[in-house]
């Protein structure tokens, strides 16, 4: 018999997450501009199944249905992202009122169902005109981001309950600008480090803009991956430290006032006086996205990277071939507390989830016991971290819906709700019912 889930602190936030380009569709509706993902997805060979996010889950037109699903689920919060090109089609200048109208309707629909709107301002969909002007390699993009944040907060600042400036800036830098597997598809390796600084600067400038318009707390959502060393040499340990600095510290140390890790400092042509103070504007919450640890060892001679990634063995794996390591989340949360101490703000786990090949049976039901086991294990890991004294105040499942999964297109399903992409039909999976029952018992 499964041990009952232990109790969580009063007020713990139970949520689900999505992102705009992955679910909204309506790519040409109501004045929306093009993003780097519109451009990237339409380039042959970029997406595994040749699909695009032009329609995705059609959430733009079906948001009321999706809010009803959340209300039935019983979540206390919904983390969505605002599509920058829907609000500012050119990436600068006045807002497109029809774009803001959509998020206005969504926010009101959530509040009517007692669901806290949690708005992420940037989930990788940079307006294409800004990319044409240099993207996040250009310092001006940080200022344009603050301008956009001001426009959104002026409209929604009285109702959004938690702001998240950036989602996973490490992933956007490394996949989008470092190795080119994500939009905008650049392959700069470590020459992409200015992208880190400009994203962080944009975050700091946006924090000031949000606080000028809204009294709600402000966060950032970072992706973290605990390091598991494969080897016991000095070279292996150096490789582990290099990966830890790049993945786990580059986007956290500066936020908490510690400056950049050694060896990853932006050059003097990038880092200017006052930038670090802007970046270190106090955070109300640190968003933590966790999927799995990373196996690391020393690289082969001549490698362009100071580490080599190694597949973790001995664990079950998701359809993305990611290892399922629930205790890695406890390890991560405790490690953040131990590293940053009193400088660490309260934490919310802003993403956690898994992809499996979920298909309806003959009766239309979608059983996904692997996802239930995944969520059960990871929530127990959160509870264990709380028992060790870590201030964790919420957990958001990735994702509410099966969606368009970036370079994997429609081939990977993360949702609590199955989506038949040709028709848009939503079918709650067994994990949806499990999560609903868990929330109800809380």
Cite the active site residues. 168, 351
What is the rounded radius of gyration, in angstroms, for the C-alpha atoms of the chain? 21
User: What does the alpha-carbon distance between residue 285 and residue 288 come to, in Å, rounded to a whole number?
Assistant: 9
Token pair, residue 205, equals 């400038």
The rounded distance, in Å, linking the Cα atoms of 266 and 193 is 7
Q: Kindly report the length of the chain.
A: 442
Angle, CA of 318, 320 and 325, to the nearest 5°: 45
Structure tokens at 121: 């301002």
Q: Any bridge partners for residue 310, and if so which?
A: 295
Whole-angstrom distance, CA of residue 17 vs CA of residue 280: 26
Give the tokens for residue 421.
């992409």
C-alpha separations of 106 from 61, 78, 263, 416 in Å: 11, 10, 44, 20
Give residue for tokens 């301002």. 121
Closest of 275, 273, 149 to residue 201, by C-alpha: 275
CA distances (Å), 33 to each of 82, 121, 137, 210, 413, in order?
A: 13, 16, 21, 23, 27
């Amino acid at each position: 018999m499964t041990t009952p889930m232990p109790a969580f602190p009063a007020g713990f936030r139970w949520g689900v997450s999505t992102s705009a380009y992955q679910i909204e569709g309506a790519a040409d509706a109501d004045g929306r501009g093009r993003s780097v993902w519109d451009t990237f997805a339409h380039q042959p060979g970029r997406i595994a199944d040749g699909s695009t996010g032009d329609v995705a889950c059609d959430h733009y037109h079906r948001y009321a249905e999706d809010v009803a699903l959340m209300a039935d689920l019983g979540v206390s919060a919904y983390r969505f992202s605002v599509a920058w090109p829907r609000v500012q089609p050119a990436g600068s200048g006045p807002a497109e009122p029809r774009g803001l109208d959509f998020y206005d309707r969504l926010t009101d629909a959530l509040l009517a169902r007692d669901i806290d709107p949690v708005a992420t301002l940037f989930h990788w969909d940079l307006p294409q005109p800004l990319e044409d002007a240099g993207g996040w390699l250009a310092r001006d993009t940080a200022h344009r981001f603050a301008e956009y944040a001001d426009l959104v907060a002026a409209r929604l600042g009285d109702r959004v309950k938690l702001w998240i400036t950036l989602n996973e800036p490490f992933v956007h830098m490394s996949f989008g600008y470092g190795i080119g597997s994500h939009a905008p598809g650049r392959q700069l390796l470590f020459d992409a480090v200015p992208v880190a600084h400009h994203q962080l600067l944009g975050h700091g400038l946006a924090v000031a803009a949000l606080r000028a318009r809204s009294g709600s707390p402000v966060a950032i959502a970072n992706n973290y991956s605990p390091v598991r060393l494969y080897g016991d040499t000095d070279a292996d340990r150096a490789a582990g430290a290099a990966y830890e600095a790049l993945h786990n510290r580059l986007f956290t140390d500066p936020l908490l006032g510690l400056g950049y890790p050694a060896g990853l400092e932006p050059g003097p042509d990038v880092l200017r006086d006052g930038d670090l103070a802007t970046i270190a504007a106090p955070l109300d919450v640190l968003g933590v996205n966790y999927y799995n640890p990373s196996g690391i060892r020393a690289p082969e001679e001549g490698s362009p990277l100071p580490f080599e990634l190694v597949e973790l063995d001995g664990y079950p794996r998701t359809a993305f071939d990611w290892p399922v390591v629930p205790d890695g989340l406890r390890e991560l949360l405790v490690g953040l507390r131990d590293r940053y101490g009193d400088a660490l703000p309260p934490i919310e786990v802003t993403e956690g989830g898994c992809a499996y090949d979920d298909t309806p049976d003959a009766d239309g039901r979608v059983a996904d016991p692997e996802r239930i086991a995944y969520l059960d294990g990871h929530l127990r890991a959160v509870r264990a971290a709380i028992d060790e004294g870590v201030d964790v105040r919420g957990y958001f499942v990735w994702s509410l819906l099966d969606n368009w999964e970036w370079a994997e297109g429609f081939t990977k399903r993360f949702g609590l709700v199955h989506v038949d992409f040709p028709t848009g039909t939503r079918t709650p999976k067994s994990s949806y019912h499990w999560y609903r029952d868990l929330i109800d018992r809380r």
